[in-house]
Chain A
Amino acid sequence: MTAMLEMRNVSKSFAGVQALRDVNFSVHAGQIHALVGENGAGKSTLMKVLSGVYPHGSYEGTIIFEGEERRFRDINDSEALGIIIIHQELALIPLMSIAENIFLSHPPSKLGVIDRDEVYRRTRELLAQVGLKESPDTLITDLGVGKQQLVEIAKALSKRVRMLILDEPTASLNEADSAALLERLMVFREQGIGSILISHKLNEVAKVADHITVLRDGRTVDSIDCHAEPIQEDRIIRSMVNRDMAHRFPERSVKIGEPVLDVANWSVYHPVHPERQVIKNVNFGVRRGEVVGIAGLMGAGRTEFAMSLFGRSWGTNISGSLRLEGREMALPSVAAAIDAGLAYVTEDRKQLGLILADDVRKNITLASLDQVAPGRVIDDIAELKVASDYRSRMRIRCSDVYQETGQLSGGNQQKVVLSKWLMTDPKVLILDEPTRGIDVGAKYEIYCIINELAEAGRGVVVISSEMPELLGICDRICVMNDGAFVGEFKGAEATQEKIMRAIMRNERSIGNAAPAAAEMGGSQP
């Protein structure tokens, strides 16, 4: 049997960062091919190369589809051949009906007038095919996420589908919806459609996949034929995470003191869907001089947890107790949280952390203007001195503190954000993905800063999706999944496999054993 799709020696790099290296990947007709790997392993990049989001010429290697070499200029080229990608973030227009969404780009029409009868007839057919019992008139916004996913698939089927790519389709679905979706995939397999399934949920992968490819750091590291050999979960996990520690971590003398932050029975609900509990009665603590990591996959609730602590800047109906240095604190606003000695360095420095059009100086002093403004009037010389001081201490590379922050590199921007929060003199710093999008050298500098903070007796919480980073810098690692802590390891004992296993075990048990997992999590040291 020859492959329907073959990707040969595909390499792709972004501004010096190698995202894919010599990846070989093939899918047969009527095959479900699972693609697994950590966040940032290159799965999405590979799929974007395949679907033409990255046009021919921007990557190396060849794509052979149905026997011919293909050079896609954009996503329309790949769609024309029946390669349809369904993204994790759904691309539906909420205030349009199911029918309007399905036939958004090519509605059946006569002389330019949309043929409504035909639209409805075909929509009903497609909805029956994906097993969705809804009227074509229903607005997308009135559907749950699971049903929206099915509409996306119906939309894909309205075109000629030869190969369906699903990027974590069940990430936001409940057990029943996930099962229904996987059923659907198996029906498509019968019809000879090839599918690529990107998923973190190994139990699902084990259920439906014919073949599994594991990506790590942009390379294919394992390829498993599920019919030839039994699926060993441990083998997959090991392949996913086992890498040589490419970058080193600075040494630190650890001196852990009394608890500084103590959170108990913390629970947070979604701001838009107030019935959804996002953080499920968790306990969490940091001591002076301690670096605590929070591991987990995207969407595990780590950022939501951190932001809800930081002056309730995320979520609604927040309950639980928060103690700073033993004192119970209410912290109803960000200003109160800052005053109390809490700092949160956001994962999205461009959107949430910096005012890019403003200069370095203004960004550094923004959260603590009172320190340089006696009587609410800014002493510009004092401000300049403070800013210059941080500039040299943090080794921010800029022409001077009047340079626009938008012009700095990612690493230097991050140092500006860190300076801003250091200036507030926090007792506890929560760093959310502090090294995302930063080159290796700047990463090392950020690790040094984290060490200095801990040595100065502050409590540091690091949220990161890069497990080696957590292993390299943390004294303790808590694993979060689905809004609860599902494991906790001492820095020395933790391994990537243990962490990944804690997440995967929990992924499998979500739905029937979530309360038990919540009890397990976050026990105090």
Chain B
Amino acid sequence: MTDKTVSLPEERRHGSFIKNNLRNYGMLMSLVAIMLFFQVVTGGTLLQPLNLTNLVLQNSYIVIMALGMLLVIVTGHIDLSVGSVAGFIGAVAAVLMVTYKVDYTLAFIACLLVGAAIGAAQGYWVAYFKIPSFIVTLAGMLVFKGLALAVLQGQSLGPFPPTFQKLSSGFIPELLPEAGTLHPTSMLIGAVLALGLVYASAKGRSREQSHGIEVEPYAFFLGKSILLACAVLYFTYLIASHRGLPNVLVIMTALIALYGFVTRRTVIGRQIYAVGGNAKAASLSGIKTERLTFLTFVNMGALAALAGLVFAARLNTATPKAGLGFELDVIAACFIGGASAYGGVGRVGGAVVGAMIMGVMNNGMSILGIGIDYQQVIKGLVLLGAVCIDVYNQRR
């Protein structure tokens, strides 16, 4: 049953795998624990299909921006302007679509390009002029907050065309006959996704095995796969019993998969980590460190724009206050997810889990009726605690 490369006694291998996995999945387990906690104290409200759907919708823009922020943080920088940029892009989108009646597809693409251009403008100063990113993006935060106000002339602007609203408030169309409240298309997609994940990891494992690489014990692999598949299926079941998969969840999942792949498996991803790990060594290894830093900011700008569009579509109006303080949640998500403030360390999965921890806490505490005042206090302490644990782990 077990592979041929076994070199250690079974118990010791299991022991070491548990230890390694504990470190890798520590944050994920914290998320599960936090979810269980709120599920119990809210009397089961947290995981009700309606609430879960809302939770996804409420946090989608944070997750989207966290993907870009993770790369920025990994290169050793920070972007404080993302909230303002998201707000500004929402305003631009409203002016284009509501005031000038521009076609929504065209407006959507234009907004993404404007976001990328904003990222490029900021990245240029950071990467090539070596101005600290903290200062550049602090300036950007003020500039775009102001521009959002100017573009909207201090007023809210809406509503958006119905098709554009679907970006946030829409659900994937139902193609199969409905079975009670359950949406079979969504369920089917969830099942395919679960099977796909298990198949991919099984294939990867057997590929490694065929090259004589030591892999995790079979029991672990099996347990992990079953857990993963069950979690995906259960989550889809809950979502599917409300109104099906939200469009934005599909976009988010695709982005998470894409960024996960880029960071782990591509040359550019590897080089971004190298720049953050040791910029001088990277540059003496032939890596164009400035260009990579520049590109991470361009990417961040485009993702902030996407988040701004998602947020505007969700509110169905662009307000000058949109995006206020988003940057703090996004940055916190990355750090809770294990990214290092010194650069070079951080995972996409971690940032996503970090964003979900923040989201579940917001949601759970709101259900419990905890005031916004103490919510902030508790979130701040959780951020500090998570980073402390991380630093402590690394020192050991």
Contact = CB atoms under 8 A, between A and B. Distances in A.
Given A358-B277, A366-B274, A377 B266 contact: yes
Interface in A300-321: 310-311, 313
A164 to B, nearest CB: 36
Interface stretch (A201-209, A379-387, A441-449): A379-387
Interface in B260-293: 265-268, 270-271, 273-274, 277-278, 280-288
A313 B207 CA distance: 41
B320 interface: no
A313 B288 CA distance: 12
B395 interface: no
Contact of A334 (B213, B267, B286): B286
Contacts of A356: 277-278
A228 interface: no
B211 interface: yes
Contact of B283 (A334, A354, A369, A380): A334
Contact-residue size bin, chain B (C-beta under 8 Å from the other chain): 20 to 34
A225 interface: no
A355 B265 contact: no
B345 interface: yes
Given A355-B274, A358-B277, A384-B213, A367 B285 contact: yes
A357 B270 contact: no
A516 interface: no
B211 A358 contact: no
Nearest to B273: A358
Interface stretch (A20-28, A275-283, A345-353, A496-504): A345-353
Interface in B201-227: 207-208, 211, 213
Among A311, A344, A366, A377, residue most surrounded by chain B Cβ atoms (within 10 Å)? A366
B285 A366 contact: yes
Interface residues of A, number: 32
A338 interface: yes
A378 interface: yes
B5 to A, nearest CB: 12
B309 to A, nearest CB: 29
A373 B287 CA distance: 15
A380 B265 contact: yes
Nearest to B286: A335
A362 interface: yes
B140 interface: no
A43 interface: no
B338 to A, nearest CB: 13
Nearest to A367: B285
Contact of B268 (A338, A351, A376): A376
Contact of B281 (A338, A354, A376, A384): A354
Given A335-B286, A362-B270, A381-B207, A353 B265 contact: no
A369 B271 contact: yes
B274 A358 contact: yes
A353 B345 CA distance: 18
B344 A352 contact: no
B286 A370 contact: no
Among B273, B286, B287, residue most surrounded by chain A Cβ atoms (within 10 Å)? B286
A214 to B, nearest CB: 37
A73 B166 CA distance: 72
A356 B277 CA distance: 8
Contacts of B278: 351-352, 354-356
B282 A355 contact: yes
A378 B284 contact: no
Given A353-B284, A355-B282, A378 B267 contact: yes
Nearest to A313: B284
A366 B267 contact: no
A369 B281 contact: no
Given A356-B278, A366-B282, A367-B285, A378 B270 contact: yes
B283 A378 contact: no
B274 A381 contact: no
Contacts of A335: 286-288
Contacts of A311: 286
A352 B280 contact: yes
Contacts of B281: 351-355, 366
Contacts of B266: 373, 376-378
A187 to B, nearest CB: 44
A423 B21 CA distance: 32
Among B271, B281, B288, residue most surrounded by chain A Cβ atoms (within 10 Å)? B281
A370 B267 CA distance: 8
A12 interface: no
Contacts of A353: 281, 284
Interface string B242-271: 000000000000000000000001111011
Contacts of A376: 266-268
A219 interface: no
Contact of B344 (A334, A355, A369): A355
B209 to A, nearest CB: 11
Nearest to A355: B277
A420 interface: yes
A498 to B, nearest CB: 33
A362 B271 CA distance: 10
Given A377-B265, A381-B213, A385-B211, A420 B285 contact: yes
Contact of A357 (B213, B277, B286): B277
A334 B271 CA distance: 15
Among A346, A370, A380, residue most surrounded by chain B Cβ atoms (within 10 Å)? A380
A338 B288 CA distance: 13
Given A334-B284, A366-B282, A385-B211, A357 B345 contact: yes
Contacts of B270: 362, 366, 369, 378
A385 B208 CA distance: 11
A407 B287 CA distance: 24
A90 to B, nearest CB: 23
A370 B270 CA distance: 11
B324 to A, nearest CB: 35
B285 A334 contact: yes
Contact of A369 (B267, B277, B284): B267
Interface of B: 207-208, 211, 213, 265-268, 270-271, 273-274, 277-278, 280-288, 344-345
Given A334-B283, A352-B284, A355-B273, 8 more contacts: A334-B285, A335-B288, A351-B278, A352-B281, A354-B278, A354-B281, A369-B267, A385-B211
23 contacts: A310-B284, A313-B283, A313-B284, A334-B286, A335-B287, A337-B286, A338-B286, A346-B284, A351-B278, A351-B281, A354-B278, A355-B281, A355-B344, A356-B277, A356-B278, A358-B273, A362-B270, A362-B274, A366-B282, A366-B287, A377-B265, A378-B265, A378-B270
